[in-house]
Structure formats: structure tokens, C-alpha cells
Amino acid sequence: MKKRYQIFLLFTALLSFCAEQMKAQTPGSLTPVLIGSAGNYSTGGNITLSSSTGECIVPTFQNSPFILTQGFQQPNANGALSLSTTVVHYNVTCAGAGDGAASVTVTGGTAPYSYAWSTGANDTLAVNDSLAPGTYTVTVTDAGNLSQTQTFVVTDGTEICDINFYNGITPNGDGQNDVWIIDYIELKQPNNVSIYDRWGYLVFSGDNYDNSSVVWNGTNQQGQKLPDGTYFFVITIGEASTRGWVELTN
């Protein structure tokens, strides 16, 4: 309420000032009015009028008397002259994927908007993708040169990319699924693969798992055959890890 009263006082003072300026201009009939929050620019014949916030408009006469409508720009109490931005970002899905993304929502200001991403991405787009982990900024500028900068952080994924594991192993000597294969694990060195039973006891652990020399074949650390059941695994590569389950059927 206090802010609106202050705006009213400012408006009254400026209107009075404009009226005094108009009295000094002859001949003609002058009517002070309000111009919208976007300002005004118009041309007619030999007359050009423009306004910006708080600027009084004084008449310009050409040969004969005529009527000019004059005034100053009225700030919008609802903040139409302000620019507000919100950034929503998405972290990298899995370690090293580089598939983070961000989008900007703009309210207020005057369209069209431009978007200056710290990555140098297309300034006409409110979205940016293929982001690696890191700190980024985006500056939004509207048609009236209002701007706002937002900073956001994209973090790396905690899951492991580009490996594929199977949920079953049947070590019965028939040559089918006798060992637990993890596709592409041999390309992710160094690594560790640990297998736990349903009570949380470690039954197998192998460094640098490669599906051949280091591979789980359904036995425990002592080489003893494990009973049928559901087992749980943790695959660790660097700081990333993947967890899941595998069904053992002899």
C-alpha cells in the first residue's frame, strides 16, 4: 500500500511538472495524459513524439496551431517493466554421458527475448542440451534491453554408462549362461564387481572383471557351489556404481 502511494505521489509531481512545461508552449491546446507502460513512439506529418519513463513530452509546432496530446509514461504497479527468469536443469544421467540439459522460463519484460548461454549456444533458443558436468550461466535480454542472469550447476551421474548386465546365470555346464556376463565391462577398467546373498554376506568379489579371467561362475570366494536363489550385485567403476540383482539357477 505504501509503495502504491509513493508511485501516486511521483505520478502527481511529474504530471504537474509536465503541465508547467506545456504552458510555455504556444499556440495550441495541450492535454496531459498517461502513456502505457511500454512507452510510446509515433510519427505524423512533420511531427515525431516519443516517451520513456518519467520523461515529459513538449510540443513542436509547425507553421499553424494544432492540438498535441502529451504526457509521460506511467510505471505499471504490477511490475510489467520487470523481467523475471526461472531455470530448470537436468543433471547428467550416468557418469560421463554429457547429456545434461536446461531450459529458461521468462515472465515480464517485452518479447522477443534473446538467450546468451555461457556455452555459446544459439541465442534464439530457451533450451540448451548436451551439457557436461559444470557451472553454467544464461543471460536473458528482452526487447527493451532489460536483462537477468541465472547461474546453475549440472552434476555428473552416479550410474555407469554403456554396460549391460543380465539377470540370470545357470552354471550347469551346458555352455549356456554358465558365467555371469556383463557386456562391455572389459572396457571399463579398473572396476570391481561384488556379489552378495540375500542376508548381505559377500560371496564373490572381483577386481578388473573382464568376463573371462575374472568372472562369477556361481561359486563363492572359496570356489564352493552356491545354492539357487536371488543374489545382489554392486558394480563400481571410479566414483560411479550400479546396483541390481541376478537369479542363480544351477
Claim to verify: residue 174 and residue 241 sit in the same structural domain? yes
Assign 72 to helix, strand or coil: strand
To which H or E segment does residue 12 belong? Answer: helix 2-23
Same domain, 181 and 229: yes
Residues 172 and 244 in one domain: yes
Give the range of the structural domain holding residue 34, as residue numbers without chain letter: 2-73
What's the pLDDT score for residue 160? 87
In a domain, 24, yes or no: yes
When mean pLDDT is compared across 112-126, 171-185, 230-244, the lowest value belongs to 112-126
Distance, CA of 169 to chain centre: 43
Domain boundary among 154, 178, 198: 154
Please check whether residues 241 and 167 belong to one and the same domain.
yes
6-36 residue pLDDT tens: 555 555 555 565 555 545 544 444 454 444 4
Residue 22 grid coordinates:
506545456
Which pLDDT value is given to residue 219?
A: 96
Same domain, 145 and 164: no
Asked if residue 195 is part of any domain, the answer here is: yes
Look at residue 163 and tell me if it is in a domain: yes
Name the one residue in this structure whose C-alpha cell is 540439459. Answer: 101
Each residue of 143-183: pLDDT tens digit?
Answer: 889 999 999 999 988 888 889 988 999 999 898 899 999 99
pLDDT (tens digit per residue) in 127-142: 999 999 999 999 999 9
Is residue 41 domain-shared with residue 68, that is, in the same domain? Answer: yes
Same domain, 142 and 179: no
- Report how far residue 118's alpha carbon sits from residue 99's, in angstroms, rounded to the nearest whole number: 16
186 is a domain residue: yes
Q: Is this structure's pTM higher than 0.95?
A: no
d(CA 98, CA 101): 9
Output the pLDDT for position 9.
54
130: left (phi > 0), else alpha (psi -120 to 50), else beta? Answer: left
For residue 54, count CB atoms less than 10 angstroms from its CB and return exposed for 0-12, middle for 13-18, buried for 19 or more.
middle
Give the tens place of pLDDT for each residue, 173-230.
Answer: 898 899 999 999 998 999 999 999 999 999 999 999 999 999 999 999 999 999 999 9
Domain boundary among 154, 169, 189: 154
* Whether residues 165 and 146 fall in one domain: no
Residue 78 lies in a domain: no
Q: Which three cell numbers stand for residue 86?
A: 526461472
Last residue within a domain, chosen from 33, 50, 73: 73
CATH number for the domain spanning 172: value is: 2.60.40
CA angle centred on 160, ends 159 and 166, rounded to 5°: 105
243 with 168, same domain: the answer is yes
Residue 80 has pLDDT above 60, yes or no: no
Name residues whose C-beta falls within 8 Å of residue 175's C-beta, 6 or more positions apart in sequence. Answer: none
Q: Quote the percentage of the chain above a pLDDT of 70.
A: 67
- The number of folded domains in the chain is 3
Q: Are residues 6 and 37 in the same domain?
A: yes
pLDDT on residue 59: 45
